[in-house]
Amino acid sequence: MPKTYDAVCLFSGGLDSILAARVVMDQGLAVKCLHFTSPFFGHPERMAKWAALYGLDVECVDVGDAFVAMLHRGPANGYGKVLNPCVDCKIFMLARARELMRSYGARCILSGEVVGQRPMSQRRDALNAISRDAGVRGVLVRPLCARHLDISPVEEAGIIDRDRLPAIAGRGRKVQLELARAYGFAEIPTPAGGCKLAESESARRYWPVLRAAPRPTAADFDLANVGRQYWCGAHWLTVGRNRADNERIESLAGEADLVLRTVDFPGPLAVGRRFDAADWPAEVLRGAGALVASFSGKAVAAGGAVRVSVTVGPGRGRDRFELAVAPERTPAVGWAEPGWNAAKVEIRERMRTLRGE
Ligand code: SF4
pLDDT digits (tens, 9 = 90+) for 328-354: 998 888 999 999 999 999 999 988 888
- Predicted confidence at residue 31, as pLDDT, reads 98
Within this chain, do residues 34 and 109 fall inside the same structural domain, yes or no? yes
Domain membership of residue 172 (yes or no) is yes
- Predicted confidence at residue 295, as pLDDT, reads 97
Residue 259 near residue 268, CB atoms below 8 Å: no
Q: What is the dihedral of CA 269, 270, 273, 278, to 10 degrees?
A: -100
Domain boundary among 196, 227, 250: 196
Within this chain, do residues 189 and 208 fall inside the same structural domain, yes or no? no
Q: What is the CATH number of the domain that holds 109?
A: 3.40.50.620
CA of 119 to the centre of ligand 1 (A): 13
- Which residue's alpha carbon is at the smallest distance from atom 1 of ligand 1? 195
- Predicted confidence at residue 275, as pLDDT, reads 94
Residue 1 predicted with pLDDT over 70 = no
- Residue-wise pLDDT tens digits, 209-223: 999 999 999 999 999
Q: Which atom from ligand 1 is nearest to the alpha carbon of 121?
A: 5
Domain boundary among 139, 161, 196: 196
Asked whether 42 lines ligand 1 (CB < 6 A), one says no
| Rounded Cα–Cα distance for residues 21 and 199 (Å) | 28
Residue 118 predicted with pLDDT over 80 = no
* Average pLDDT in the chain: 94
- Predicted confidence at residue 189, as pLDDT, reads 87
Residue 354 near residue 76, CB atoms below 8 Å: yes
- Residue-wise pLDDT tens digits, 50-80: 999 999 999 999 999 999 999 999 999 999 8
Mean pLDDT calculated for residue range 271-279: 94
DSSP state of 71: H
What's the N-to-C CA distance of the chain in angstroms?
Answer: 52
- Which residue's alpha carbon is at the smallest distance from atom 5 of ligand 1? 86
Confidence class for position 121, pLDDT limits 50, 70, 90: confident
Number of separate domains in the chain: 2
Domain boundary among 161, 196, 231: 196
| Rounded Cα–Cα distance for residues 288 and 294 (Å) | 10
- Predicted confidence at residue 162, as pLDDT, reads 97
Confidence class for position 303, pLDDT limits 50, 70, 90: very high
Residue 183 near residue 10, CB atoms below 8 Å: no
Question: In the chain, which ranges are continuous DSSP H helix?
Answer: 15-25, 47-54, 64-73, 86-101, 124-133, 153-156, 174-183, 200-212, 218-224, 243-252, 282-294, 297-302, 340-354
Confidence class for position 193, pLDDT limits 50, 70, 90: low
**Secondary structure class of 33 (helix, strand, coil):** strand
Pocket test of ligand 1: the residue of 11, 41, 61 to mutate, having most ligand atoms within 8 Å of its CB, is 41
Asked whether 195 lines ligand 1 (CB < 6 A), one says yes
Residue 140 predicted with pLDDT over 80 = yes
Asked whether 122 lines ligand 1 (CB < 6 A), one says no
Q: Can you spell out the DSSP letters for 139-205?
A: TEE-TTTGGGSPPPHHHHTTSS-GGGS----SS--HHHHHHHHHHT-SS-PPSS---GGG-HHHHHH
- Predicted confidence at residue 319, as pLDDT, reads 87
Within this chain, do residues 183 and 51 fall inside the same structural domain, yes or no? yes
Confidence class for position 191, pLDDT limits 50, 70, 90: low
CA of 102 to the centre of ligand 1 (A): 25
Residue 17 near residue 11, CB atoms below 8 Å: yes
Residue 258 near residue 272, CB atoms below 8 Å: yes
DSSP state of 231: E
Domain membership of residue 75 (yes or no) is yes
HSE-CB of 10 using CA atoms within 13 angstroms: 26
Domain membership of residue 354 (yes or no) is no
- Predicted confidence at residue 168, as pLDDT, reads 96
CA of 83 to the centre of ligand 1 (A): 9
Within this chain, do residues 204 and 191 fall inside the same structural domain, yes or no? no
Confidence class for position 23, pLDDT limits 50, 70, 90: very high
| Rounded Cα–Cα distance for residues 113 and 298 (Å) | 54
What percent of the chain has a predicted confidence (pLDDT) above 70? 97
- Predicted confidence at residue 2, as pLDDT, reads 58
| Rounded Cα–Cα distance for residues 245 and 229 (Å) | 12
- Predicted confidence at residue 7, as pLDDT, reads 98
- Predicted confidence at residue 111, as pLDDT, reads 97
Within this chain, do residues 294 and 162 fall inside the same structural domain, yes or no? no
Confidence class for position 325, pLDDT limits 50, 70, 90: very high
- Predicted confidence at residue 351, as pLDDT, reads 87
Q: Is 262 exposed, middle or buried (0-12, 13-18, 19+ CB in 10 A)?
A: buried
Residue 63 near residue 36, CB atoms below 8 Å: yes
Q: Which atom from ligand 1 is nearest to the alpha carbon of 90?
A: 5
Domain membership of residue 313 (yes or no) is yes
Within this chain, do residues 70 and 213 fall inside the same structural domain, yes or no? no
Within this chain, do residues 19 and 149 fall inside the same structural domain, yes or no? yes
Within this chain, do residues 113 and 32 fall inside the same structural domain, yes or no? yes
Within this chain, do residues 63 and 74 fall inside the same structural domain, yes or no? yes
Domain membership of residue 282 (yes or no) is yes
Asked whether 111 lines ligand 1 (CB < 6 A), one says no
Within this chain, do residues 101 and 229 fall inside the same structural domain, yes or no? no
**What is each CA distance from 267 to 82, 139, 251, 290, 310, in whole angstroms?**
34, 55, 17, 12, 14
Q: Which amino acid is at 263?
A: V
Domain membership of residue 163 (yes or no) is yes
Higher pLDDT, 350 or 158: 158
CA of 259 to the centre of ligand 1 (A): 33
Domain ranges, residue 241: 199-340
Within this chain, do residues 106 and 148 fall inside the same structural domain, yes or no? yes
Residue 39 predicted with pLDDT over 60 = yes
| Rounded Cα–Cα distance for residues 140 and 93 (Å) | 12
Mean pLDDT calculated for residue range 236-243: 98
Residue 44 predicted with pLDDT over 70 = yes
Residue 154 near residue 131, CB atoms below 8 Å: no
Domain membership of residue 222 (yes or no) is yes
Residue 29 predicted with pLDDT over 80 = yes
Q: Which atom from ligand 1 is nearest to the alpha carbon of 93?
A: 8
Domain membership of residue 290 (yes or no) is yes
- Predicted confidence at residue 316, as pLDDT, reads 59
Residue 285 predicted with pLDDT over 70 = yes
Residue 315 predicted with pLDDT over 70 = no
Within this chain, do residues 188 and 62 fall inside the same structural domain, yes or no? yes
CA of 89 to the centre of ligand 1 (A): 6
